[in-house]
Amino acid sequence: MEEEVIVPEACATLKYARISSRKVKIVIDLIRGKSVDEALAIVKYTPKAASEIIEKLLKSAIANAENNHNMSHEKLYVAEVFANQGPTLKRIRPAAKGSAVRIRKRTSHITIILRERD
């Protein structure tokens, strides 16, 4: 019988972020698999709207790892990061000839999972 090894992990989730998940995915693809210090540096200097949100969430995940799970900052890396689509806010804007155009304000749920390197 094999024993399953439980790998400690810390996560942080942001729900209902008022940004499209498509825009967030561009930034999170840059930091997947990187160490936390490298990921923070990348996010800090990426000129995208989502990078500010992800930086704050990454710092939250690091704080969770250190304070709640007693993990070492030096060994941490971004194991998983994903952005799922949240509910869409539907708004209406007047258009030509008395018609109306629907505006879709998209939201996203972003999750960052950190683990320790061996």
In a domain, 1, yes or no: no
- The three-point CA angle 114-115-118 to 5° equals 155
From the CB of residue 80, how many other CB atoms can be counted at a distance below 10 Å? 14
Tell me the β-bridge partners of 77: 35, 115
CATH code for position 53:
3.90.470.10
Q: Confidence class of residue 106 from pLDDT cuts 50, 70 and 90?
A: very high
The residue among 7, 11, 37 whose CA lies nearest residue 110 is: 11
Residue ranges making up the domain that contains 112 = 9-116
State the pLDDT at residue 8.
87
Mean pLDDT rounded to a whole number for the chain: 93
Global pTM reads: 0.88
82 close to 43: Cβ distance less than 8 angstroms: no
Alpha-helical (H) ranges within 1-118 are 21-31, 36-44, 49-68
Q: Give the tens place of pLDDT for each residue, 40-73.
A: 999 999 999 999 999 999 999 999 999 999 999 9
In a domain, 2, yes or no: no
State the pLDDT at residue 4.
83
Number of domains the chain contains? 1
In a domain, 62, yes or no: yes
